[in-house]
Structure 1
Amino acid sequence: MTEIRLATVLLGASPFKEGNINETYRGQVLVDGGEVRQAVIKDLHLVELCNELLAFCLAKHVGIPIPDAFIGLVRPGILSVTKAPELPDGSRLVFVSTNVKVPNLTFRLTGADTIGRMTLLAEVAKWANLGKLYAFDTWIANVDRHCGNLLFGNSGDAWIIDHGHGFSGPAWSEGDLDPAKDFKSRLEDWMTPMLSAAQRGSRKQEATAMEASISGFDATEVSKISRIVDLLPPEKVKVVKAFIEGRVARITPGASKALGLPVIV
């Protein structure tokens, strides 16, 4: 599994708005080894920060393309953030992801005519990881997979982003994390209608294959490498671990429902 590393946010980051709700910046970060990266920096409350970190590690585990992620250290005077967890020395912890410089799907759809939009969504429908995405969003109870949360370039150069609304939402409490609960996938609204019957069947098979590949998943390691054990109270860590493990068996039924196919439990 891929471990979350620390990155130090450098002076000079600038804010931007592209449909993002939280304060978001483009800037540079220094990662271990002295490498400077172009990054997207997000000012998030603690639970939403942990959602992002955990979702990154899980996506890497199942092989879905996702930009490299870090815990970003913002030292006093470097960047004005207000939601990010604060350390005793006044530094803050933000979510950092590498800027892969691929446009999100909303941006590309907005700039296209009707034929162009249909053509673009048809490309997404053929994306090799689409079945896994249906499975992944079911697994982590991601309730916010809109078009802006998928970066999609030419020839299917695609990346998933923005998982603060995973695990039922950005401010979940222990009572929200019931593994047996049914969480709606927004893919059902904008992606599923673009799929043919054959494509829906294939995407379901891919989701089922992903479920089989993580059968018996133990969330102990991912809770450590994502750093949530260092950030969340023990009782929250215990509940989210049980949620991740319990959701594996919900992948095929949840993906089937999102695909508009019969659900067999």
Structure 2
Amino acid sequence: MTDHLLGDDQLEKARKGCDTCVGGGCMTTIKLATVLKGAIGFKEGNVNETFRGQVLLDDGAVRQAVIKDLDLIQLCNELLAHSLARRVGLPIPDCFLGLVRQDVLATNVAPSLSDGARLVFVSVDVKVPNVTYRWTGSDVAGRKALLDQIIKWGDLGHLYAYDAWIANIDRHPGNLLLGGKDEVWLIDHGHSFTGPNWQPPQLDPNQEYANRLSDWLTGHLSTDQKASRAQEAKNLSDGLGNVDFAEVSAASLISKLLPATHLSALEAFLEKRILKVPAHACKALGVLT
């Protein structure tokens, strides 16, 4: 698939970025960022090689970021999931498509360009702890307060729907950042669209995929809370038909990274899966449709 990576002219367009209007809203094209020397690897339950460091933007700004060494499919999963989250109004940190040279930061699986640079996923470091970290460091009262904060979050029902739509099989507590009141961020979407190694024939819109929110969160919701969140999930799913895949794939840059067969399969998967979202979200919530 490497022959589908960004060419020089495409790189220039990506550097500049643009605003894509979608269904009455606007979505900013993901831009490029250059990874600077000094990034440090860390392990916080992450499977892929992950680093904290700095990236340089084309306007000269330097941002603190989390940098992930991902193969092409997981990289595109992250980029597309980001643009879809922004499109439906869910909180996700700003991201960039990172350019890095091996003498700056050694990567192992990141896609390569013809000049030897590699492409990595860059997410702005919002410096907010994940739920796992907060849970581990809390007493009984603190854990109850943490659960209450999550359960009362206004977009929780939308998250159930979003994860059902994109077939995200990895929303464990470490992939939800939770800070002060209403400070919530969604991270780590490399295992979306059925998983980290999907191929077009595997994208079955009718199949039920694991929604991990049901493993660690659903059981803490009351019957009324489940019903309320299920209605919120339906409300979000009702608007998913307004999402234009061609514009989202362009904004996320995956249209320049993936072969046409993969793009077509993703488009068909997301379009046909919309009708399944309420049922899948309700099941994850333990609510009858």
Residue 85 (1) aligns with residue 111 (2): yes
Assess if the C-alpha contact under 8 Å between 1:22 and 1:42 holds in 2.
yes
* Among candidates 130, 138, 143, match of residue 112 of structure 1: 138
Number of equivalent positions: 263
What is the alpha-carbon root mean square deviation over aligned residues?
1.0
**For the residues of structure 2 that align with 1:216 and 1:127, how far apart are their CA atoms?**
25
The match for 1:28 is 54
In the alignment, the residues of structure 2 paired with residue 3 and residue 255 of structure 1 have an alpha-carbon distance, to the nearest angstrom, of 29
**1:17-96 alignment to 2 at 5 Å?**
17-96=43-122
The correspondence for 2:147, drawn from 104, 121, 126, is 121
- Residue matched to 1:16: 42
1:185 corresponds in structure 2 to 211
Match of 2:272 in 1: 246
Match of 1:4 in 2: 30
- Partners of 1:2 and 1:65 lie apart in 2 by 15
Q: Name whichever of 177-186 and 138-147 sits farther off.
A: 177-186
Deviation, 1:216, is: 4.8
Q: Gaps spanning 5+ residues in structure 1: where?
A: none
CA distance in 1, matches of 2:255, 2:97: 14
CA distance in 2 between partners of 1:2 and 1:186 (Å): 29
Q: What residue is the counterpart of 1:167 in the other structure?
A: 193
Structure 1 residue 207 corresponds to structure 2 residue 233: yes
What CA distance in whole angstroms lies between the structure 2 residues aligned with 1:215 and 1:51? 20
Contact 1:73 1:91 in 2 (8 A): yes
Q: Partner amino acid for 2:103?
A: G
The answer to whether residue 177 in structure 2 is matched with residue 148 in structure 1 is no
Question: Quick one: which amino acid aligns to residue 164 of structure 1?
Answer: G
Q: What is the CA–CA distance in structure 2 between the aligned matches of 1:242 and 1:32, rounded to whole Å?
A: 35
Identity of aligned residues (%): 55
Asked if structure 1 preserves the Cα contact closer than 8 Å seen for 2:169 and 2:211, the reply is yes
CA shift, 1:34, in A, is 1.1
SS at structure 2 position matched to 1:11: coil
Structure 1 position 137 matched with structure 2 position 156: no
Once residues 141 and 168 of structure 2 are traced to their aligned partners in structure 1, the CA distance between those partners, rounded to angstroms, is: 30
Q: Report the Cα distance in structure 2 between the residues aligned to 1:100 and 1:218, rounded to whole angstroms.
A: 29
Cα distance in 2 for partners of 1:76, 1:123 equals 42
Aligned to 1:194: 220
TM-score normalized with structure 2 length: 0.89
Question: Which whole-Å CA distance do the structure 1 matches of 2:274 and 2:125 have between them?
Answer: 30
**Paired letter, 1:248:** I
Write the distance in 2 (CA, Å) between the matches of 1:53 and 1:247: 19
SS at match of 2:123: strand
What is the distance in 2 between the residues matched to 1:176 and 1:132? 25
Task: List structure 1 segments (4+ residues) > 3 angstroms apart after TM superposition.
Answer: none
Work out the CA distance in 2 between the residues paired with 1:168 and 1:142: 6
Contact 2:87 2:243 in 1 (8 A): no
SS at match of 2:121: strand
Report deviation, 1:228: 1.0
